[in-house]
């Protein structure tokens, strides 16, 4: 395993983080507690120390499973991240959003499920159009000062919104967002226009979600359609991965994988790991074998011509992932 510094925090994380959205119930392709624990334990064996979950994943089940699995290990060696924003209880309008009330109650609930006094990285899951950003930032700053969170981060939004948030923190002397968990992979590169340059300028850690494009970067398209997730993941249909040259990119990944004797997933992940602005992609998987392959991808070398070959078919896409 290789490790890197997460943005300007000084905190070291493994070059890939384990995404925990697949832990729990609610979808046919998700893992139960026993299967999830096996995956977490293998991740630790492989040197992964960075785990990313959210309160909304299986309505808290993911956090509880992760916390229980990590309890048998040295807490100081782990970097745990979770998120807040999505509504947790349809009967309680204050169970979602980024108001002070929501942040304080949901952080307390997340810590209880995780079995931890402090989370290493507390992230806002999306932009809240109903709450002023200074209100959100003041609540997050207080959470850090109380010792409930070590760093705060955020996820997909427009670059102008992120710039506003960073400037507001600077103006008010509040804790800054230290990380950006954005939507970025070989099939969706719109973040290269504004968000990634902004993160580089501001020293923000970049930890992309969906690095394998929800499976589009892991197998031929006809094979993807036959998988349980390919048939049931409604979100996959909302993201334009196969527009703007996506089908050709998929074919070129197949070709390069065959040439190098590796999997398509390893090529897709290696492409992202070769991007200097990326710290640690968040890799979600339901298979120990696929997790092992992801770790092996860290050592896979792609030449400049390989990178150019994969990127050449790309065309601009509509923005997706801010919802």
Count how many Cα atoms sit within 13 Å of the Cα of residue 244 in the half-sphere of its side chain.
15
Among 17, 63, 89, 74, smallest CA distance to 281 is for: 17
- DSSP 3-state of 29: coil
Q: Which long-range contacts (CB under 8 A, 24 or more apart) does 102-106 make?
A: 103/136, 103/139, 103/140, 103/143, 104/139, 104/143, 106/55
* CA dihedral of 239, 242, 243, 249, whole degrees rounded to 10: 130
- Active site positions, annotated: 57
287: Cβ–Cβ under 8 A, 6 or more apart, which residues? 39
Q: Provide the 8-state DSSP code for 23.
A: B
Structure tokens at 149: 């969170």
């Amino acid at each position: 395993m290789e490790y890197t510094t997460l943005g300007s925090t000084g905190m070291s994380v493994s070059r890939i983080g384990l995404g925990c959205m697949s832990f729990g119930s609610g979808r046919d392709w998700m893992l139960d507690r026993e299967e999830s624990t096996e995956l977490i334990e293998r991740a630790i064996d492989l040197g992964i120390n960075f785990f990313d979950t959210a309160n909304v994943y299986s309505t808290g089940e993911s956090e509880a499973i992760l916390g229980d699995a990590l309890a048998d290990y040295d807490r100081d060696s782990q970097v745990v991240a979770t998120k807040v924003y999505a509504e947790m209880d349809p009967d309680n309008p204050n169970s979602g959003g980024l108001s002070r009330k929501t942040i304080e109650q949901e952080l307390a609930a997340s810590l209880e499920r995780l079995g931890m006094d402090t989370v290493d990285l507390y992230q806002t899951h999306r932009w809240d159009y109903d709450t002023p950003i200074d209100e959100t930032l003041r609540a997050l700053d207080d959470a850090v000062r109380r010792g409930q969170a070590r760093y705060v981060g955020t996820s997909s939004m427009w670059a102008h919104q992120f710039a506003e948030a960073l400037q507001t923190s600077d103006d008010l002397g509040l804790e800054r967002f230290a990380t950006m968990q954005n939507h970025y992979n070989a099939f969706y590169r719109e973040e290269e226009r504004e968000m990634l340059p902004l993160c580089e300028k501001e020293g923000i850690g970049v930890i992309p979600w969906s690095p394998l494009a929800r499976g589009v970067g892991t197998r031929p398209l006809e094979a993807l359609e036959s998988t349980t997730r390919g048939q049931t993941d409604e979100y996959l249909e909302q993201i334009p991965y196969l527009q703007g040259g996506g089908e050709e990119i998929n074919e070129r990944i197949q070709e390069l994988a065959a040439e190098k004797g590796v999997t398509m997933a390893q090529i897709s992940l290696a492409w992202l790991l070769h991007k200097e602005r990326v710290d640690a992609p968040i890799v979600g998987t339901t298979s120990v074998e696929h997790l092992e392959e992801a770790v092996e991808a860290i050592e896979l070398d792609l030449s400049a011509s390989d990178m150019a070959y994969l990127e050449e078919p790309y065309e601009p896409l509509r923005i997706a992932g801010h919802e």
